[in-house]
Structure 1
Amino acid sequence: MDSLDELIRPIRHSPQLPLLVDRLTQQLQAERDARERFYDEMTPEQKIEFIDGEVILHSPARNRHLDASGRIYKLLHTFVARHRLGTVKTEKCLCVFPRNDYEPDIVFFGLEKTSQVEPETMKFPVPDLAVEVLSPSTEARDRGVKFEDYAANGVGEYWIISTEEATVEQFVLEKGTYHLRMKSSSGRLVSTVVTGLELEVEAIFDEEKNLAALAQILA
């Protein structure tokens, strides 16, 4: 029995089933209408998402958040570009999922999905790897709806970065479910999605180690 069957089973034989279906249909239509307005009104200057029928506008990030995401982006982008594995985007890259639209801090698209991206693209496909740097205002979503939605739609690897604890949590998708492969403030992060990528965890949080890691990639 898959997860959808488990969700449906409690109401399958309920006398209220027709009413429940009608209510859900109305809700989904309202969400579709709101999502179309979201697409019409969004601008490239905004960091904005559409989640569970609501528009989420993000506030500016703290400096340590920007530093960590910038270091990850430099390492990942440099490695992927050097080995011609696809493309890496940061910040305002709107990834379109069946129900929701997210702007992860960093995303990686392999060659197949990279081929779908044009110079004027504003709505990107579901990424192969997603990275979220935690903040107080986003942690519940990063560990909640995004965690569930990323897994359900085939994001093969998900990194959650805590700048407060200086840790990386690496989740790997197996049979539609994320499994924690590592949580650490040191050691090597070995990607299962970006072929050949191995990063020192400390290079995400320390500028000198980040530069050393970049030099090693370029060597």
Structure 2
Amino acid sequence: MLLKFNAQLMTIDQLDLAGTYTYADYLQWTFEERLEIIKGKIFKMSPAPARRHQDISFKIGNRLYNYLQNDSCKVYMAPFDVRLTPLKRNAKPDQVYTVVQPDISVICDLEKLDDQGCNGAPDLIIEILSPGNSKKEMKDKFEVYQENGVKEYWLVNSTEKAIFVYVLNESGIFIGLKPLIEEEVLTSSVLPGFEMPVGEIFAD
């Protein structure tokens, strides 16, 4: 059952977390807490990311930004809304049941960009794991990114100091590559020529 947004709601605690919501509802919310919607279901985001999370995000995002300065692709860091609709390119807000805020997004089809963020699948998405979000990033987001055609997905595990890279094959299935550890170099199939030593990412 689709629950319509009640304009009188002032806090996240007043939402029915078992209900079904769309991007149209999301646009009305003024809560301080950050939320994501995955297939109509609300997912609370972790409190402000820890310093290490922010440090890793900045290092990767900055390297990508510098690499893409003379390229048509753009890189964005959270908070940045990505709306995903597998079957509709320009779906209306009340037709969008997934809106997420990846840690880092790279978009090469600039027609997907608008004032609200990205309407469609980025080419590359990077999520940095933390104790409060690992299940969501490794299962719920993994599945929705695969279904929507994200070409490449990186999971950054700061605890193990490893990066897991998944590349979408011709059948629309993510294929996991060999995990990358500190002594290795991170590259990308969607960004030929990009390189970053993994050790730099996790250096204190």
TM-score after normalising by structure 1: 0.72
2:199 to 191, 197, 202: 202
Structure 1 range deviating more: 124-133 or 155-164: 124-133
Using the aligned pairs only, state the percent identity. Answer: 25
- Say whether 1:50 aligns with 2:45: no
- Structure 2 portions without partners, runs of 5+: 5-18, 86-96
Distance 2:35 2:2 in 1: 22
Of structures 1 and 2, the larger Rg is shown by 1
- Structure 1 portions without partners, runs of 5+: 1-25, 208-219
1:187 Cα shift? 0.9
1:141 to 136, 155, 177: 136
- Say whether 1:179 aligns with 2:167: no
Show the 5 A alignment for 1:15-164.
26=1, 31-32=20-21, 34-42=22-30, 47-58=34-45, 59-81=47-69, 83-98=70-85, 99-110=97-108, 112=109, 114-118=110-114, 120-164=115-159
Tell me which protein shows more helix as a share of its residues. Answer: 1
Count the aligned residue pairs.
176
The aligned amino acid for 1:79 is Y
The aligned amino acid for 1:178 is F
Query: What's the C-alpha RMSD, in Å, of the aligned pairs?
Result: 2.3
Q: Per the alignment, in what secondary structure is the counterpart of residue 20 of structure 2?
A: helix
Cα pair 1:46 1:92 within 8 Å, conserved: no
CA deviations 1:74-104 (Å, max 9, x no partner) are 11111011x3131000011110012311100
